[in-house]
Chain A
Amino acid sequence: MTMICTTGSQEWEEEAVCVIMCASVKYNIRGPALIPRMKTKHRIYYITLFSIVLLGLIATGMFQFWPHSIESSSDWNVEKRSVRDVPVVRLPADSPSPERGDLSCRMHTCFDVYRCGFNPKNKIKVYIYSLKKYVDDAGVPVSNTISREYNELLTAISDSDYYTDDITRACLFVPSIDVLNQNTLRIKETAQALGQLSRWDRGTNHLLFNMLPGGPPDYNTALDVPRDRALLAGGGFSTWTYRQGYDVSIPVYSPLSAEVDLPEKGPGPRRYFLLSSQMAIHPEYREDLDALQARHGESVLVLDKCTNLSEGVLWVRKRCREHQVYDYPQVLQEATFCVVLRGARLGQAVLSDVLRASCVPVVIADSYILPFSEVLDWKRASVVVPEEKISDVYGILQSIPQRQIEEMQRQKWSSVSNPLFLPLIPPQSQGFTAIVLTYDRVESLFRVITEVSKVPSLSKLLVVWNNQNKNPPEDSLWPKIRVPLKVVRTAENKLSNRFFPYDEIETEAVLAIDDDIIMLTSDELQFGYEVRRFQTCLPTHLATMLSRAGGAVVRAENQGPLPPRPGSREGSTFASSPPAAWPCSQRGPEVLSAEEAARRRPYSCVPRYKSFHARTLLSSPVFTEIQSLQVQGSWNKPLRGRSTLLDASIAG
C-alpha cells in the first residue's frame, strides 16, 4: 500500500482497484488466515468495505498533502507565458507626453512620501507595471519589448522583500518599459507610453533604469526621454545632469565579464603596472597613452582592437598590441592599474570588468559621477585622474605607496568599530554610582555601604536586592550615608542584574561591587575611579570594560586583602594595572577567559556605557558563551516595569 501511495494519481487509482480484486480472488481460492471464518458473502462484504474505507482514508490523506507539493514548485506560482503574447497597446500620435526631466527635483519637492506609509520590515514597497507592447498608430513598435538584462532586473525586484503586487500600497513604481539603452527606443513615443501609465502622475515616485544614455552626436549624460519628476537610476551621469540626493548613479553592466569566470586574485605586484584595454579611445588620448608605453616600456600595456583575427573568433573577447593577441577580460588580472577612460559616454562598461578582475581602476572621465558615490568612498578603491593630466598618469600612480595599492586591490571598506571613540575626560564632580548586588547578607552589606559611602566621588548608591523571598530591611535599619541610596528589587535572582541599565544610574562611571567585599578602603576605590576617568584605553569589547577595573583592585581579588604597601598610599601614586596584561591586548579566545574571571570578580569599576550598550556587545560572536552564561534572556525583558523601587532614601 505504501508503495502505491507514492505514485501519481491516475496509476494509483487503477492499482488500488487491482488490489481489491486480487484480494477477493485470493480469498476465493484459499482464504486468508487472517480473516475469521464467516459466511462467504459477509466476508466479501467486510473485506470490500474494509478496503474501501482504507482507500478512502489514504485518499483523504493524500489530498491533504497534495496541494502543498504543487505549491512549492515555482511554475505553479508564476505565470508562464511568452514575451510575444503580451497585450499590445496602441499609442495615438497625439497622446500626451510628459515634460522634460526637472533638474531642480529633490526628495522633498518631487517625491511623494505619503505613498510610502506601508512598509513592513522597514522596506519600502515597489510595484512593477505588467509588461505590454507599445505600438504607434501605424502599428510599428516603439521599442524592443524587453531586454534580457531588464527582465533579470525586474525579476530580482520581484523576488525581493521590496516587491508588492498591490498598486495602492506601493511607494515606488517601476515601469516595465525598457529604457536601458536609449539607442533602441523612439524617444517621443516612449515618453508617451510612460505618460499613459495608470499611476504616472507627472512621474512622481516612478523609477527608471538606464545604462546607456544619450545618442549621437552630442551624447547627453542622462536619458533623453522626457520623464518629468521620475527618479532616474542611470549609468554615466555627469555633475551637470545628476540630481544630488535624488538620482542614483549605477554601473554600466558588462555582459563580457559576467559570462567569464575569473579566478580570485589576491593583492600583490602584477606583470603590468598600467593597462589600457579600451578600443574606442579618442586619437588624442591614444597618442598620450602610446607615449606612456614608449617611455615606460614593459610596465605599461596599451591594447587596441584586433585587425587580423581569424573567422569564428569573437572579436570583443580579444585585444591586440601590434600582432600580439590577448584574451579579454583575463588580461585585466595581469595589471595593477587599469585605465577607465571616457568615451562618448561617461559611464564605461569596462569599469565593471576592471573591478571584477580586482585591478585598481584609474578613472579618467571629468565630471563623471561614479556609481553609488552617494554611499561608497571611491577614493579607497580607485584613482581619479583629470583628463588634462592623462600624460602624467604614470607619475601619479608611481607616487602611491605599495601598501595603499594593496588596500585598493582588496577593495576593503573597513569601518570604525569602536563604540567610544571620542576622548572625553568627565569632570571629577560627576562622580560614580555604586551598584551593590546582594542576596541576604544584610550585615555584610551594611558594612560595604558604610565603607563605600566614604569615597569622596561617590554620587549615588544603588542596592540590587536579588532575593525574591525576603523583603529588604526596614528603612530605619539602613546606615545613614551622605548620598542618595536606592534599593531595586529584582524579579529573578540573576548575577547579570547588576549590569542592567537602570534609569537611576546618572553617571558615566559605575562601580559594581559585591556585598562581601569589605576589605577595600575608600582610598582604593577613589583611585579606581580616577583610573577609569583618565584611563582611555577605549573598550573594544565587553571584557575590556569589565577588566577595566582599577588595576590595584584586581590584585585584591587574587590575593585577598591588600597588604599595606609602604609609600604607595600617600596621595595617588598607587600602582596601576599592568600594561603587559592590559585588557586591550586581550583578543580572540583570551576574551572568554577574561570574561570568566570578570564574572567571578567581586567588583569592578565600569562605565555606565557598558550596561547601556551591552545588548550590542553581546551580539558579537565572541560573546556567545557569555550570552548563555549570564544573559539568559534578561536583556530582552525590560526590568523597568517589574522592579519596584523601595525608596530607602537616606539622603545626606
Chain B
Amino acid sequence: MQSWRRKSLWLALSASWLLVLLRVFPLLRLAVPARPWVGAPQGWPRWLDAELLQSFSQPGELPEDDPQPPQAPRGGSCDWGACFDVSKCRGGGLKVFVYPVAGPISDTHRGILASIESSRSRSVSPDEACLLLLLSLEAPTGECSPVPQQWNGGRNHLVLSLHSAFCPQTFHLGQAMVAKASPTVDTFRPGFDVALPLLPEAHPLRGGAPGRLGQHSPHPGVPLLALAEERGGWRTAVPDSSACPWDGRCEQDRGPEQTHPGATLPNATFCLIPGHRPDALHFLQALQAGCIPVLLSPRWELPFSEVIDWTKAAIVADERLPFQVLAALQEMPPTRVLALRQQTQFLWDAYFSSVEKVIHTTLEIIQDRIFGASAHPSLLWNSPPGALLALPTFSTSPLDFPFYHLQRGSRPVGRFSALIWVGAPGQPPLKLIQAVAGSQHCAQILVLWSSEKPPPPRWPKTTVPLTVLEGQRKVSDRFFPHRAISTDAVLSLDAQSSLTTSEVDFAFVVWQNFPERMVGFLTWSHFWDEARGGWGYTAERANEFSVVLTSAALYHRYYHTLFTHSLPKALRALADEAPTCVDILMNSLVAAVTKLPPLKVPYGKQHLEARPPLAPGGPESQLPAQDCINRMAAEFGYMPLVSSRLRLDPVLFKDPVSVLRKKYRSLEKP
C-alpha cells in the first residue's frame, strides 16, 4: 500500500510538473514584453496606418509648379548659363582673342601665346571673339594692367594666371571666368572657373618630361609613404625592407627616416600631401613620379576637376584620421594600387607635363562647355590618350576611336579601304588594284589622283567599288580625312607599291588585333647620330625599326583627322616640302599618341628584288631629309618614335608542315 501511495505521489508530482510546464510558460511569455531578444535593433516602426499617410506633395503639385521667367544673374555669383554668352561662339572652332600686353614680353608669356596659337582655337578680332583671354603675368610689384576697352563687365572673358595672383585692386572681375592655380574651394565657382595646377617656375613650355614610372606594380621594397615637406622636399619612411614591406607592423618601427632636400621627386608608393595651398606644388611632383597622391583634406580645388575624375588617380583623405589613413593605405588591394599608379602617369603625360598642355586643356574645357552635346564624354577625358588627342569633332562615341577597343574588350568591325596615291608619273597601278581588290577584307578602293596628267577614263573592273578622287598635288593631302573613306581601317598605298593578296589579308588580321597601331611591311629605323649631334634615320635592314613606310601601311582612319587637325601647321608644311618626311611624321604622330612602336608583318622577297624600297632621301636630298626628323623632334619637344624588335608572322610560317595546312601560303614563296 505504501508503494501505491508513493507511486501516486510520483504521479501527482509528474502531473503537476506537466501542468507547470504547460501553464506557466505561456504565462511567463505574456509577462515578458513584446521584445524577446534584447540585443536586436529596434528599427523604424512599421506604422499601422502607413498606407494611409499622405504623400509629400499634393497631387498635381509637382507638374503644376509655378512657371518662372528666365533668371537674371545674381549679384556677384556667376555660372555658365548666366554669365557666358554663347551666341558669339557659332561656327567652327573656338574663336579667341588674346589681349596684347603692354611693355616687354617675357619668355613665359611668349610661350603661352605660342601655345594658344598652336591650339585648335582661332584668333580673331575682339568684336567677333567668343572668348577673350586676359593673361595675368608676374608684373613688377604694384603694377597692374589697366581695364581693357572691351571688358564689358568681364563677360566672355577668361582671366588666366598661371603663377601669380590676379591684381584685384584695379578692377572687379565681375562676370569673367578665372583660371588660376589651385584656387581655394570657397572662392571657386564650379562649372564656371577653371582650376589649374600649381606649376613650378621652371615648368617646360612644351614637350615636357615624361612620367617616371618604370614598371606597373610597385617595386618590392620601395617605401610605402613619402611625406611632403616644406621647401619642396620629401621625407620617405624607409621600412626595413626584409621585415615588413607591406605588413601592418611597419607603423611601429619605421626604420631610419630619410630626408632628400635635393631630390624633388619622391620614390614611394603613396605621397602624403597636406591640404594647405602651398603644398599643391607637391601634387604635380607626386603625379610625375607615379607616386599616388594622398591629399589630406585639401582646401584647394584639384586641377581640372571639372573633367578629370581624380578618384581614379588620387586619394582624398581626412587629415584628422592619420592612423586610419595609414591603415587603409596598407590594406589597399594591389589591383587598386596598380590602377592608381597608371592613372597618375597617364594624367601627367596627357594634361600636365608642359605649359602648352595646361593651356590647351583649359581651352578644351571651355570648348566642351560651349558645345555641350558634342563635348568629350568622361571616358575620353579619363583614359589614354586623353581628351586633347581624342577630337570630339571626329566622333563622341569611344568605339569610333582606335584607342578604346582593348579596354572594352571589343575589336573594330568591318573591312578596310585601300587609298592609293598616284603621284607624278601618273601611271594607273592596275596590278596593285587587282591584288588589293582580291582581299576578302577589302571594302572599297580609293585612288587619290595627284598627277599632272588627267586620270584615265577607264579603270579595270573590280569586285569592290573603285572611286577616283582628285588630289591637290600636295603630299600632306594623302592624310586628309577624305569623306569617301567609309571604313575604320585605311590601307595606304603608293602607285609603285607591290603587294600580294595574302600579305594584305594577314596585315589586316594583325591590325584588327592592334587597331591603335600602324601595321606596315617596309621599315626604317631612327638613331642618335653622335657625329652630327642630331637624329638620323636609315633604311638599312637592322634588328630594330621604328618607322613603317606609308607607301604600304594599315592604320585607323582617325589618324587622318589627327594629322590634319592636330599636327602643328609647321610640321604639315614640312611634309609638303620634303616628301620622304611624311612617313616620319605619320609614324611620329601615332607613336606620340600611343607611346607604342609600329608593327611589322612579312613582306615577300620578290617585291624587294623587283624594286628596292625608297631610301630615305637620295644623296641630293639627304640634308633636308635628316633635317626633317630633327625639326620634327624639336616641334614635339622630344623624340616620339619608339623602336621595336618584333615581327608578326602567321602561325605556321616556315614550319615544316604540309603547305596545304597553311593559311597564308603565298607569303612563303621564295
The B-contacting residues of A in range 495-531, CB under 8 angstroms, are 503, 505-508, 530-531
Q: Does A157 count as interface, using CB distance less than 8 angstroms? A: yes
The A-contacting residues of B in range 23-81, CB under 8 angstroms, are 25-26, 29, 34, 36-37, 40-50, 53-57, 59-71, 74, 77, 79-81
Whether A538 lies near B81 (C-beta < 8 A) is: no
Q: Does A284 count as interface, using CB distance less than 8 angstroms? A: yes
Cα A189 to Cα B217 with chains together (Å): 58
Which single residue of chain B is at the shortest CB-CB distance from A219?
Answer: B68
A417-B56 contact in complex given A239-B192, A377-B377, A535-B646, C-beta closer than 8 Å:
no
Shortest distance between the CB of B307 and any CB in chain A (Å): 10
Residues of A near B384 (CB, < 8 A) are 421-423
Q: Residues 76-101 of chain B: 1 if any A CB is under 8 Å from the residue's CB, otherwise 0?
A: 01011110001100000000000000
Whether A148 lies near B64 (C-beta < 8 A) is: no
Interface size class of B (residues with CB under 8 A): 35 or more
Residues of A near B319 (CB, < 8 A) are 108
Q: Does A427 count as interface, using CB distance less than 8 angstroms? A: yes
Whether A284 lies near B69 (C-beta < 8 A) is: yes
Residues of A near B345 (CB, < 8 A) are 422
Whether B44 lies near A128 (C-beta < 8 A) is: yes
Question: B36 touches which one: A67, A154, A158 (CB < 8 A)?
Answer: A67
Whether B338 lies near A419 (C-beta < 8 A) is: yes
Question: A582 touches which one: B21, B185, B513 (CB < 8 A)?
Answer: B513
Which single residue of chain A is at the shortest CB-CB distance from B601?
Answer: A579
Q: Does B375 count as interface, using CB distance less than 8 angstroms? A: yes
Shortest distance between the CB of B620 and any CB in chain A (Å): 32
Q: Residues 335-352 of chain B: 1 if any A CB is under 8 Å from the residue's CB, otherwise 0?
A: 100110011011000000
Q: Does B215 count as interface, using CB distance less than 8 angstroms? A: yes
Q: Does A65 count as interface, using CB distance less than 8 angstroms? A: no
Residues of B near A78 (CB, < 8 A) are 42-46
Residues of B near A399 (CB, < 8 A) are 373-374
Whether B215 lies near A508 (C-beta < 8 A) is: yes
The B-contacting residues of A in range 94-148, CB under 8 angstroms, are 104, 106-108, 113-114, 128, 131, 144, 146-148
A147-B44 contact in complex given A56-B14, A613-B338, C-beta closer than 8 Å:
no
Which single residue of chain A is at the shortest CB-CB distance from B650?
Answer: A578
Whether A280 lies near B63 (C-beta < 8 A) is: yes
Cα A255 to Cα B60 with chains together (Å): 10
Residues of B near A163 (CB, < 8 A) are 41, 43-44
Q: Residues 146-176 of chain A: 1 if any B CB is under 8 Å from the residue's CB, otherwise 0?
A: 1111110011011100011100000000000
Q: Does B318 count as interface, using CB distance less than 8 angstroms? A: yes
Q: Residues 616-637 of chain B: 1 if any A CB is under 8 Å from the residue's CB, otherwise 0?
A: 0000000000000000000000
Cα A147 to Cα B411 with chains together (Å): 52
Whether A536 lies near B645 (C-beta < 8 A) is: no
A367-B82 contact in complex given A284-B70, A404-B396, A417-B409, C-beta closer than 8 Å:
yes
Residues of B near A344 (CB, < 8 A) are 65-68
Shortest distance between the CB of A125 and any CB in chain B (Å): 11
The A-contacting residues of B in range 618-670, CB under 8 angstroms, are 642, 644-656, 663
Question: A252 touches which one: B62, B80, B594 (CB < 8 A)?
Answer: B62
Residues of A near B79 (CB, < 8 A) are 238-240, 366-367
9 tightest A-B CB contacts, nearest first: A366-B81, A578-B651, A108-B297, A158-B44, A343-B65, A422-B342, A147-B56, A344-B66, A282-B67
Whether A278 lies near B644 (C-beta < 8 A) is: no
Q: Does A335 count as interface, using CB distance less than 8 angstroms? A: no
Whether A315 lies near B21 (C-beta < 8 A) is: no
> Which of A379-387, A469-477, A626-634 is the interface stretch?
A379-387
Q: Which B residues have a C-beta under 8 Å from some C-beta of A? A: 4, 7-8, 10-11, 14-15, 17-18, 21-22, 25-26, 29, 34, 36-37, 40-50, 53-57, 59-71, 74, 77, 79-82, 86-87, 185-186, 189-192, 213-217, 219-221, 245, 275, 297, 318-321, 333-335, 338-339, 342-343, 345-346, 372-375, 377-379, 383-384, 395-397, 399, 406-409, 411, 506, 509-510, 513-514, 543, 594-597, 642, 644-656, 663
Interface size class of A (residues with CB under 8 A): 35 or more
Residue contacts A-B, CB under 8 angstroms, 26 given: A52-B11, A56-B14, A78-B46, A83-B50, A107-B318, A113-B318, A151-B47, A155-B44, A178-B56, A282-B68, A343-B68, A344-B67, A377-B377, A379-B375, A380-B379, A388-B81, A388-B86, A388-B87, A423-B384, A430-B214, A508-B215, A534-B645, A576-B646, A576-B648, A578-B651, A579-B510
Question: B649 touches which one: A56, A254, A283, A576 (CB < 8 A)?
Answer: A576
Cα A314 to Cα B333 with chains together (Å): 55
Whether A387 lies near B275 (C-beta < 8 A) is: no
Which single residue of chain A is at the shortest CB-CB distance from B8?
Answer: A45
Which single residue of chain A is at the shortest CB-CB distance from B242?
Answer: A503
Residues of A near B650 (CB, < 8 A) are 578-580
Residues of A near B77 (CB, < 8 A) are 240
Residues of B near A613 (CB, < 8 A) are 334-335, 338
Which single residue of chain B is at the shortest CB-CB distance from A541?
Answer: B409
Shortest distance between the CB of A472 and any CB in chain B (Å): 21
Shortest distance between the CB of A620 and any CB in chain B (Å): 12
Cα A389 to Cα B57 with chains together (Å): 31
Considering residues B408, B649, B653, which has the most beta carbons from chain A within 10 angstroms of its beta carbon?
Answer: B649
Q: Does A354 count as interface, using CB distance less than 8 angstroms? A: no
Residues of A near B221 (CB, < 8 A) are 506
Residues of A near B59 (CB, < 8 A) are 314, 316
Tally of contacts, chain A with chain B, CB under 8 A: 358
Whether B190 lies near A244 (C-beta < 8 A) is: yes
Question: B82 touches which one: A53, A148, A366 (CB < 8 A)?
Answer: A366
Shortest distance between the CB of A405 and any CB in chain B (Å): 10
Shortest distance between the CB of A208 and any CB in chain B (Å): 13
Residues of B near A278 (CB, < 8 A) are 63
Cα A629 to Cα B641 with chains together (Å): 44
Cα A55 to Cα B17 with chains together (Å): 11
Whether A345 lies near B54 (C-beta < 8 A) is: no
Residues of B near A493 (CB, < 8 A) are none
Whether A181 lies near B57 (C-beta < 8 A) is: yes
Whether B185 lies near A380 (C-beta < 8 A) is: no
Q: Does A575 count as interface, using CB distance less than 8 angstroms? A: yes
Whether A280 lies near B67 (C-beta < 8 A) is: yes
Whether A108 lies near B213 (C-beta < 8 A) is: no
Cα A278 to Cα B62 with chains together (Å): 10
Cα A639 to Cα B186 with chains together (Å): 51
Question: B372 touches which one: A151, A280, A386, A421 (CB < 8 A)?
Answer: A386
Whether A565 lies near B654 (C-beta < 8 A) is: yes
Cα A284 to Cα B37 with chains together (Å): 63
Shortest distance between the CB of B62 and any CB in chain A (Å): 4
Cα A613 to Cα B342 with chains together (Å): 15
Q: Does A642 count as interface, using CB distance less than 8 angstroms? A: no
Residues of B near A87 (CB, < 8 A) are none
Which single residue of chain B is at the shortest CB-CB distance from A12?
Answer: B22
Whether B66 lies near A9 (C-beta < 8 A) is: no
Whether A580 lies near B49 (C-beta < 8 A) is: no
> Which of A69-77, A191-199, A266-274, A444-452 is the interface stretch?
A69-77
Residues of A near B654 (CB, < 8 A) are 565, 568, 575
Residues of B near A643 (CB, < 8 A) are none
Cα A256 to Cα B61 with chains together (Å): 12
Q: Does A589 count as interface, using CB distance less than 8 angstroms? A: no
Question: B407 touches which one: A421, A505, A585 (CB < 8 A)?
Answer: A421
Whether B53 lies near A151 (C-beta < 8 A) is: yes
Whether A343 lies near B245 (C-beta < 8 A) is: no
Shortest distance between the CB of A494 and any CB in chain B (Å): 21
Whether A345 lies near B338 (C-beta < 8 A) is: no
Cα A312 to Cα B34 with chains together (Å): 46
Q: Does A24 count as interface, using CB distance less than 8 angstroms? A: no
Whether B649 lies near A534 (C-beta < 8 A) is: no
Question: A342 touches which one: B48, B68, B82, B214 (CB < 8 A)?
Answer: B68
Residues of B near A255 (CB, < 8 A) are 55, 57, 62
Which single residue of chain A is at the shortest CB-CB distance from B190?
Answer: A244
Residues of A near B49 (CB, < 8 A) are 82-84
Cα A60 to Cα B18 with chains together (Å): 10
Question: B596 touches which one: A149, A155, A423, A587 (CB < 8 A)?
Answer: A423
Whether B217 lies near A572 (C-beta < 8 A) is: no
